[in-house]
Amino acid sequence: MKKLFFSLVLMFFVLVGSVRVYGFYQDTKVTQLTEVKTHQLLTQNLITENGKNLVPQGSILGVNDTEQFVFEYQVFVQKDLKIEYFVINLTINNEEVSEDLSNLFNFDFQEVVIREDSIQTDLLTGSEQGYFVKVILTVSMNEPTYEQYQLLANQAMNFDVLFTVK
């Protein structure tokens, strides 16, 4: 009888421990902003998975062209903090672009609160109360001049999205 009781208690702790470790693993994959971790920087490429290219708004679209890219981010924000987001470090072939080229691109953000919840921030000690936000970034491009087009055509473009809280 003692062995059965001991086995049941052991199985209970293994099960609870496994659930806790799995929850912690899942929560580490979420972008988290707290009083301790106040910012997160994510790098994006201006190319989609299916090889579409960004073209100016109002252009005639070719087979692999699109007028906008949409990026979605799910971010956990600690309770009583407000999220802010910015696009920084627009680069072409890993070189910063001039302000003239940077002004060609429109970065429009939209924020939707998904739900209030808690997230496990440490494996053993605890969790943080807060809310999940879906941040939608729409990237589009204005009509470039011929010189600007020559600099942009068929180039690898990247930018960083900075999430902060205050």
Judge whether 43 lies within some domain: yes
Q: Is residue 8 part of a domain?
A: no
**Type of residue found at 164:** T
Domain interval for residue 137? 31-165
Return the CA Rg of the chain. 22
Within a domain: 161? yes
- For residue 1, what are its two tokens? 């009888």
The reported pTM is 0.77
In this structure, is residue 152 part of a structural domain? Answer: yes
Q: Look at the chain and report how many structural domains it folds into.
A: 1
Would you state the structure tokens that stand for residue 31, as one six-digit string?
Answer: 């972008």
The pLDDT tens digits along the chain (166 residues) read 777 766 666 665 555 544 444 444 344 457 888 888 899 998 888 765 567 888 888 888 888 888 998 999 999 999 999 999 999 999 988 888 888 888 999 999 999 999 998 876 665 566 788 999 999 999 999 999 999 988 887 788 899 999 999 8
Number of Cβ within a 10 Å radius of residue 129? 11
**49 within a domain of the structure (yes/no):** yes
Q: Tell me whether residue 83 is in a domain.
A: yes
Give a yes or no: residue 123 inside a domain. Answer: yes
